Structure 1
Amino acid sequence: MGHIYDCEFVQGELPMTKQEIRAISIAKLQLNPDSVLIDVGAGTGTIGIEAATYCRKGKVYAIEKELKGIETLKNNIGKFDLDNIEIIVGRAPESIPEIAYDRMFIGGSTGSLKTILDHFKRYSKENSRIVINAITLETLSDATKLLKEMKFKNIEVINVSIGRGKNVGPYTMMYGENPIYIITANKGDE
């Protein structure tokens, strides 16, 4: 299936990763057809669901603690008829399965970023890749500091700002979405 537009998703109360940010984040994950992705802070499921369409021989584990997001996530999985995505209700890292995986996306960590990264270092396969989306400077700072301290490799940070045109009478005005920091890194040597 590939890229999914925002209007195709069932939207709930939780914020949704917008389609342009989702496209870049998924590209940064460098998914393989058999990738196993842990989607931490899955929310309404847009990242995990779109990723599941790229790794049809693999699996996505969507970790979400907010019950209002779980129903929307279930509705979206059903809408796209995906059988390679599993919802896990709970907080990360406690709810992340202790399995070998090769990709992780962090959209929300509720203050547990270090322990989530510890899980990644312990359970992910060699040459695994992580992508973290941050909207605050504090999360950006914490994430880059931790990735360096934990000896992750190929750490990259990009900042993405999207403007959307909206009709105002006969004119089109651009309205900015929140800028997003997309942080990528590879698992480093122990």
Structure 2
Amino acid sequence: MKTDELIELLVQDTPVRLNLDHALMHAATAATLIAAILFFAVIGLRADFGTAIETGRFLFKFVITGSLSLTGGMVMFRIGRPGVPVRLTALGLTVPALLMSAAAIFELLVMPSETWVTRMIGRNSSLCLTIIPFLSVGPLACFLYALRSAAPTRPAVAGAVAGLVAAGIAATFYAANCDDDSPLFVMLWYPIAISIVAGTGALLGHRLLRW
């Protein structure tokens, strides 16, 4: 291939990348707004929010969910581009898992063993498994719509990543309502709810994001 032909191909390819970035940025903004509107209109903050915000366990839930949204978003911005390496960026998805595991281990060390099961089961497991997927519907739709302007080589994986990001946003809002602050509860029920959304995203991505 001649140099001028290569330059022409790069120039032609640049608007596609920029359009994808813009589409995903707009999708992220819309996703957050939709989740926020639904949360405050239908669910709302927990009754003792003002007191809970002063505790480390409560705040750490947002560290975990926020890191999932951030690292998942970094992968999503790359996965729609054929030939762009994703593996190194995808390693960032281990960060929320490591944070959650470290918090759970700390909880096991400082709390009496007879309380472990109670803390893990919690009081709001059914709400967690309902609200997170509910708040994820709008964000997932936004991300899948944006990714349709991309060209992911593995549509199901791209859809699953979109589901992770959508669920991360939803879980961040849900954490402000959930009064189960134990890392043991978060380690058990949040990943189950997030997996439901990621699995749904994979199924939809396989159908909607194919070339």
Normalising by structure 2, we get a TM-score of 0.22
Instruction: Name which one, 1 or 2, has greater alpha-carbon Rg.
Output: 2
The structure richer in strand per residue is 1
Q: TM-score, normalised by structure 1?
A: 0.24
Between Structure 1 and Structure 2, the one with more helix by share is 2
Greater RCO (Cα-Cα under 8 Å, separation 6 or more)? 2
